Amino acid sequence: MKKISILLLLICVYHFAQTITPTSGVVYVKKGSAGNGSSWSNAVGELADALKAAKTNQNIQEVWVSKGTYKPMYSPEDNNFGIAYGTRNGFLMVNNVKVYGGFPDSGTPTMNDRNFLTNETILSGDLDNNGITNINDAQHIVLSVGNVGTALLDGFTITHGKSINTAINITINSNNITSGTIYSSGGGIFIYNSSVSLNNLILTNNAAQSGGGIFTQNSSSVINNTKISNNTVASLGGAILAVYSSNILKNVSISNNIADASGGGIFNNNSYTTAINTVIQNNSAPYGGGVYNHSSQPTFVNVLIANNSATSAGGGIYNNLGGNYYNTTLINNGNNGIYDSGTSKWYNSIIWDFVNGSNYTTATTIVRDVPSKSVINITQLGISINDIFNNPSANDFTLKSNSQAINLGNNEYFDTAIYGNSDLAGHNRIVNARIDLGAYEFQQTLATHETDVIEKKLLYPIPFNEVININSPANIQRLELYNMAGQMILIKKDQPSKTTISTSELPTGMYILKITTRLGTKSIKINKI
């Protein structure tokens, strides 16, 4: 009888090792199921088991995961792989395997039924089940180490990872990771010598010594359509720490992250991060509240850096080398918005913060406090924040219909072949043949205050050529005409409500006309053709 029991046990163990079976390369995962993964009705119950099987079964090409909460169950380390190892458990990305979350947990959903927001698929490191991120949680929820080919993680919420500073050397996928590095970085996702694709993710409430949401080293990963918020670190990179990496961020939101040292949102160390259509806001650190670039040269395109803070320097950005910023809006980042001891370059951008540094260069960029580097003289023209943006007090930094930033850029500084033809809001990047300044493009056909002007017959013709006819509702106390460099080129005082200005000798281009009456002062951007 004893021999029969042992034989049955061995058969069960063998059967369990063979149970996960893909259909057309896909393994299905549904929380609480106990099948072999061949269909939704016969799904595997845990993502950890599906990934463990995929490590040795090359027939598994994709893993489809229905909504629910999944926790790491096994060690990713070479000498302990597939063994439960407490806080050192993690979901290890597998070479060429694509992992999709966001499927409903009923029926037979297809890829078209997937929605990672309504069908939240949570990868949680909350191993002690107390809802608090602490040292009893998984030290890394997701890991991508070494060559993972076309591996993809798409459609998950990643939360409650807690990386602590543990002095230990480990090996994953034959990559030796030195003492302290892995266990102190990347509470949410740890990427080492790897290039993984991350899509449609939410990383929130993770913590680490550095890189609270994501840590990358010697890596070139693509992060797309992802929100990284409310992560904390004791040192560098509240949301992301990139070390010797060349990552690409597209449609990423980085908000409300905290670093106790530097880089509340992002800390780049000897890295070449490219951020496109990205928002960095409400992050904080003593240095580089939004971004800290150490010996790094990032490229930012259509990026909003707003409402970040630093207690020491660089509320929005701290640069000590350089970087290229295209159509970037930097605003409301405290009294020390930019600290720049390097040579950063700004194109078609709006810098509405104080800049500490003088070696940076600008081209067709508004710089509020430095007329010599600004395409227009904000102070001399009397332009305020409310003249440029729709509702800055409500964090709406889209352009007003009569904003001086409209049609003021240079198309040569925006390569649509590389960066696409959309602005931060996903609208057309170039309207009316000329690009606007900042992260947002004004979308109406008349890209100035010309609609209201024409309707009210205040000015005509629009655009103008030989003359400007003014039909004011009150007598004109003062008329001023400025070019876009902020130079006053015409002034008239005490004019009747209806008056005409000769402009035949002016070169073609954009101008600012200021009209002062007893009713107040109005600044209007107009175009001579």
**For 13-43, how does the pLDDT look when each residue is reduced to its tens digit (9 = 90+)?**
433 444 899 999 999 999 999 999 999 999 9
pLDDT score for 80: 92
Amino acid 327 reads N
Q: Which two tokens stand for residue 269?
A: 């160390």
> Which CATH number do you get for residue 523?
2.60.40.1930
Establish if 493 belongs to a structural domain. yes
The candidate with the shortest Cα–Cα distance to 208, out of 161, 245, 269, is 161
Which residues partner with 499 through β-bridges? 470
Instruction: Please state the three-class secondary structure of 287-351 as a single string.
Output: ECCCEEEECCCCEEEEEEEECCEEEEECCCEEECCCCEEECCEEECCCCCCEEECCCCEEECCEE
Domain presence at residue 53: no
Q: Say if 508 falls within a structural domain.
A: yes
User: CA 434 to CA 327: how far, in whole Å?
Assistant: 13
Q: Is residue 402 part of a domain?
A: no
Per-residue pLDDT, 485: 59
Q: Which residue has the higher pLDDT, 277 or 466?
A: 277
3-state helix, strand, coil in the chain (%, to 5): 15, 40, 45
pLDDT score for 157: 98
In a domain, 496, yes or no: yes
CB 358 within 8 A of CB 424: no
Mean pLDDT of the chain, nearest integer:
90
pLDDT of residue 10: 41
What is the C-alpha separation between 378 and 291, in angstroms, rounded?
A: 26
- The confidence score (pLDDT) of residue 180 equals 67
Q: Are strands 299-306 and 324-326 parallel, antiparallel or unpaired?
A: parallel
pLDDT digits (tens, 9 = 90+) for 400-425: 988 999 999 999 999 999 999 999 99
Its pTM stands at 0.85
**Domain with 473 in it:** 457-528
Q: How many domains are contained in the chain?
A: 1
Q: In this structure, are residues 450 and 400 in contact, taking their beta carbons and an 8 Å threshold?
A: no
pLDDT digits (tens, 9 = 90+) for 170-182: 899 999 988 666 7
The C-alpha atoms of residue 254 and residue 277 are separated, in whole angstroms, by 12
Measured between alpha carbons, how far is 424 from 422 in angstroms, rounded to an integer?
7
Closest CA to 267 of 293, 296, 231: 293
Alpha carbon 4 to its chain centroid, in Å, reads 60
**Predicted confidence (pLDDT) per residue in 105-155, tens digit:** 999 999 999 999 999 999 999 999 999 999 999 999 999 999 999 999 999
